[in-house]
Amino acid sequence: MSDALYLRNGTLLQPASDQQMPGDLLVVHGLVRAMHKGESGALDEEARQCAAEIIDCTGLTVAPGLIDAHVHLREPGQTHKETIATGTSAAAAGGFTTVVAMPNTTPVTDSVKWLRFVQAPERCAAVRVLAMPAATVGSMGQELTDYEALQKAGAVGFTDDGKPVLEDNVMRAALVAAARLGLPISQHAEDTRLTAGASMNAGPVSFRLGLRGMTVEAESGIVERDIRLLEEIEQTERLRPHLHVQHVSTAKALHAIRDAKARGLHVTCEVSPHHIALTDEAIAGEAMQGSVRYDTRFKMNPPLRSAEDRDACIAALLDGTADIIATDHAPHAAWEKNVEFERAPNGIVGLETALGVALRVLQGKHGLSLGRTLALFTSNAAAVLGLRDLGAIATGAPADLVVFDPGAAYRYDVGTSVSRSRNTPFHGAPMLGRIDFTIAGGRVVFRR
Ligand code: DOR
């Protein structure tokens, strides 16, 4: 039976060039087989012969499927929070067709064996799952994992996410080894020697609530150190290492990254949707009226920061200092989160709300064009991860597509979530842009 899809009469969006045009797409055997730009109908005859389904895209935008460089799918070992099947279903519902799985699983994904486990067909992933295995054995920050073997098995970079690589000599060795293979080291920038016992951002709100805070410098200090290492390696090793900084949350770290980029170093970074939409005041909630929220759905690492830091994250996405948006989708079970604020695990789910939050904040409030907003999830993400055939709509490329109504405003209802966990701060929050279809590898993996 034919597996062909005909997407008729949509607006095709090419994020890299910020161009939109009316058009039709014919998808056969997982690839974009034909693209017609202009008045609809030119592919009708060809489509009639083979299309198993015609998707009427009238009034809808057809964009490359979204790519998330940072998700926690919790397999192996933490399937009460999420599985690869449920996490990738949430990805599909959020318009994502490629996700990069983090290695802080149980056991840590630090070997070819566990990388293969994550990518095995038996995991029943709804979308493409790539992986960044651990940069060091057990993510203990001491001994490098086998980068060459892991790259051969499909690794797109290395990270000890959830933990930073703290030791200078280990981080240096990691950057050198990854540079030899042309892959990035993706760093969770937190000097954990300064953050022990902290559960939120350090500032007036943590002071008011009596919670120990993480300083801005705990983030920026590691970013500055890593940039110094990049520079030193470039000068001494004739290599061009690639540092990717995860979920940057502070103006100070962004300042260092902006400066490093201006000096030509290969630094890229991501910002997460919650850091452009919320501040640490959300944890206090109604504090001013006498009742404090201490809601653990607002607890993640790095934490929600001050309004100045939030604005710096937005400015960095607008001016290109931040390359991409990544969700840091971090599911936790309700019973794990329903404890005192200081004892609750860090993390929030984010795959199903990322586009809605980003469009509301960046396009709705700050006037960033639709194409440039989508580029943060598509062409830029493909460039950061070195995924040459993803991030654009192209004849012959994988048919990874999202079909959505960019003007649809609505409030998010976590009751619609297909993730195994519900730890979102965005229940009831306004969203912009409603997803109608997600097509991954030519298959409809989500339809509203
Ligand atoms: O909020 C977070 N959750 N930050 C991290 O660094 C790890 C993640 C998790 O795995 O839950």
Quick check: CB of 301 below 6 Å from ligand 1?
yes
Tokens describing residue 346: 């860090």
Quick check: CB of 104 below 6 Å from ligand 1?
yes
Tokens describing residue 199: 């559960």
Minimal CA–CA distance to 394: which of 381, 376, 406, 378? 378
Low-confidence ranges of the chain (pLDDT < 70): 1, 286-292
Contacts of 379 (CB under 8 A, 6+ apart): 15, 16, 64, 391, 392
Domain membership of residue 93 as a residue range: 65-392+408-430
Please report the pLDDT score of residue 184 as a whole number: 98
Decide if 251 is inside a domain: yes
Tell me how far the alpha carbon of residue 343 lies from the centroid of ligand 1, in angstroms: 14
Tell me how far the alpha carbon of residue 30 lies from the centroid of ligand 1, in angstroms: 33
Please report the pLDDT score of residue 289 as a whole number: 57
Point out the residues that are catalytic.
328
Decide if 192 is inside a domain: yes
Ligand 1 pocket test: pick from 80, 104, 109, 272 the residue with the most ligand atoms within 8 Å of its Cβ.
104
Ligand 1 pocket test: pick from 75, 105, 108, 161 the residue with the most ligand atoms within 8 Å of its Cβ.
161
Decide if 299 is inside a domain: yes
Tell me how far the alpha carbon of residue 435 lies from the centroid of ligand 1, in angstroms: 26
Q: For residue 190, which atom of ligand 1 is closest to its CA?
A: 6
Decide if 36 is inside a domain: no
CB-count exposure of residue 154 (10 Å: 0-12, 13-18, 19+): middle
Q: For residue 347, which atom of ligand 1 is closest to its CA?
A: 1
Please report the pLDDT score of residue 142 as a whole number: 98
Quick check: CB of 40 below 6 Å from ligand 1?
no
410-414, Cβ contacts within 8 angstroms, sequence gap of 24 or more: 410/356, 410/434, 412/352, 412/353, 412/356
Please report the pLDDT score of residue 38 as a whole number: 86
Contacts of 347 (CB under 8 A, 6+ apart): 72, 299, 300, 301, 328, 330, 331, 332, 423
* Cis ω before 76 (30° cut-off from 0): yes
What is the dihedral angle through the alpha carbons of 220, 226, 231, 233, rounded to the nearest 10 degrees?
170
Decide if 318 is inside a domain: yes
Quick check: CB of 72 below 6 Å from ligand 1?
yes
pLDDT, tens digit, 9 for 90 and up, residues 286-318: 544 556 678 999 999 999 999 999 999 999 999
Tell me how far the alpha carbon of residue 81 lies from the centroid of ligand 1, in angstroms: 12
- For residue 192, what is the domain's CATH number? 3.20.20.140
Decide if 32 is inside a domain: no
Tell me how far the alpha carbon of residue 220 lies from the centroid of ligand 1, in angstroms: 18
Contacts of 49 (CB under 8 A, 6+ apart): none
Nearest CA to ligand 1 atom 5: 162
Q: For residue 300, which atom of ligand 1 is closest to its CA?
A: 1
Spell out where 199-264 has E strands. Answer: 200-201, 213-214, 242-245
Tell me how far the alpha carbon of residue 300 lies from the centroid of ligand 1, in angstroms: 6
Nearest CA to ligand 1 atom 7: 162
pLDDT, tens digit, 9 for 90 and up, residues 385-410: 999 999 999 999 999 999 999 999 99
Strands 61-64 and 66-71 turn out to be unpaired
Ligand 1 pocket test: pick from 186, 195, 301 the residue with the most ligand atoms within 8 Å of its Cβ.
301
Decide if 50 is inside a domain: no
Quick check: CB of 399 below 6 Å from ligand 1?
no
Helices H, strands E: what count in the chain? Answer: 15, 18
Please report the pLDDT score of residue 1 as a whole number: 66
Please report the pLDDT score of residue 35 as a whole number: 95
Decide if 9 is inside a domain: no
Nearest CA to ligand 1 atom 6: 162
Please report the pLDDT score of residue 287 as a whole number: 47
Quick check: CB of 188 below 6 Å from ligand 1?
yes
Tell me how far the alpha carbon of residue 301 lies from the centroid of ligand 1, in angstroms: 6
Quick check: CB of 162 below 6 Å from ligand 1?
yes
pLDDT, tens digit, 9 for 90 and up, residues 243-292: 999 999 999 999 999 999 999 999 999 999 999 999 999 998 754 455 66
Residue 7 · residue 24 · CB < 8 Å: yes
Tell me how far the alpha carbon of residue 162 lies from the centroid of ligand 1, in angstroms: 5
The total number of structural domains in the chain stands at 1
| CA atoms of 342 and 347, how far apart (whole Å) | 13
pLDDT, tens digit, 9 for 90 and up, residues 82-97: 999 999 999 999 999 9
